[in-house]
Structure 1
């Protein structure tokens, strides 16, 4: 396991040196600040637009802003954070192909499965830091301005979206073993997501698809319950494990 630890350490240092860690941390903090900020300025924006809306025959009533408004923004902005994460991490293996660095590492005796596991550990660790940092920043601002106690299943709902991020990471790994460019990886992940999203429009199967985890905002409003997501969680975990397993098999047979 020493070689795995050494490779993980090497990947961690590369993450820092490349600036990806700092960039994603800054973006996550900005998203965390932006959620309550947008909620806070919403009444002001609507007031500014009131005259234009009145000319169109629309009237604005008093807008109530609270923690739920901010958490709604959180769930709206998380998909964008996921897109940025996928784009930045899409080259985690393909850059190694292009630079030829993997050949030297593998010829020195590092098992191929350790490369995949190390890459998975790095991405999961980075996603964990970035996502929960964004969550904590939003939580603290909401705590300062409003009352988070009016929200139900706050951490649990956020955990479901976090799990969806793990599912995307598994797809990044699988795409990275299938394609040699980051564009191919992005196209693969985006294509799989679009297929799942389209399938989610079929009511009979939507509760079994990973994309359903992005709708966990309804937990905060108590319009759904944790038990409603059990099938989705199981399918997401199963497909994530299968994707990583396929990555190991394909990478083990890949020629460099």
Structure 2
């Protein structure tokens, strides 16, 4: 336990020193501010850029528009940033040989994997929570009403998908032993899950639902039960990838 805590602290401090955590945190903080602001001013911007004499009728901005921006930015740019920033969390140390040195000196493989995963999840949670809280605060400020069923469940679902991506990056780093392989595995898995989303019957079992059906969940056009089932599948996949990563199936030293 002591080695786990010490190695986790080392991972967090390294992310701070290399500015990875700062970059991730600042990007999501910026998203937090932009989400409600864009929802509020976008209709005015569209009206200002229309040719003279042309008019369009736009609905009054609502709280749900702010959260639509939140889930859109998180599912697209946010997940890409998260994957890229942590793509070298395992593969980078293997390619440089520093991890091999620590393992051969007696550091447990389980400690290595769990510490790196815990560190990444901790940084992802802080960044994502900051974005969600800022979005919430400014949404309440700009809009009078915010009656959105299942909002918390939608926010939680995207966080779970981010955790799944981190487990994929760690697994990919061990499998391919380079950053490009880790990115390829995470990106390829996301592409496959996106293609599976074309089959409606598979949506309740598809983790991609956690970042694609959030708005429909808030408008009750998608079942909360099916959403929870997708979350359960994502949690199981995360656990499976971590177990395989901690086993001797994927070699750290070669």
Q: Structures share a fold, TM > 0.5? A: yes
Q: Distance in 1 between matches of 2:251 and 2:5?
A: 23
Per-residue displacement from partner, 1:69-107 (whole Å, max 9, x unpaired)?
A: 111111110021111010010000121123221133123
Give the 5 Å matches for 1:1-256: 1-51=1-51, 54=54, 59-79=55-75, 80-147=77-144, 149-214=146-211, 215-250=213-248, 253-256=251-254
Count, aligned residues: 252
Structure 1 gaps of 5+ residues are: none
Per-residue displacement from partner, 1:117-150 (whole Å, max 9, x unpaired)?
A: 1011011111111111110010011111113532
Contact 2:16 2:22 in 1 (8 A): yes
Contact 2:117 2:167 in 1 (8 A): yes
CA RMSD after TM alignment: 1.7
Give the Å deviation of 1:250: 4.6
Contact 1:113 1:252 in 2 (8 A): no
TM-score (norm 2): 0.93
Give the 3-state SS of the residue equivalent to 1:150 in structure 2. coil
Give the Å deviation of 1:225: 3.5
Which sits farther off after the overlay, 234-243 or 142-151? 142-151
The 1:233–1:52 alpha-carbon spacing in structure 2 relative to 1, beyond 3 Å, is farther
Q: Distance in 2 between matches of 1:73 and 1:146?
A: 15
Give the Å deviation of 1:63: 2.9
Structure 2 gaps of 5+ residues are: none
Contact 1:29 1:134 in 2 (8 A): yes
Q: Distance in 2 between matches of 1:195 and 1:237?
A: 18
Which sits farther off after the overlay, 18-27 or 221-230? 221-230
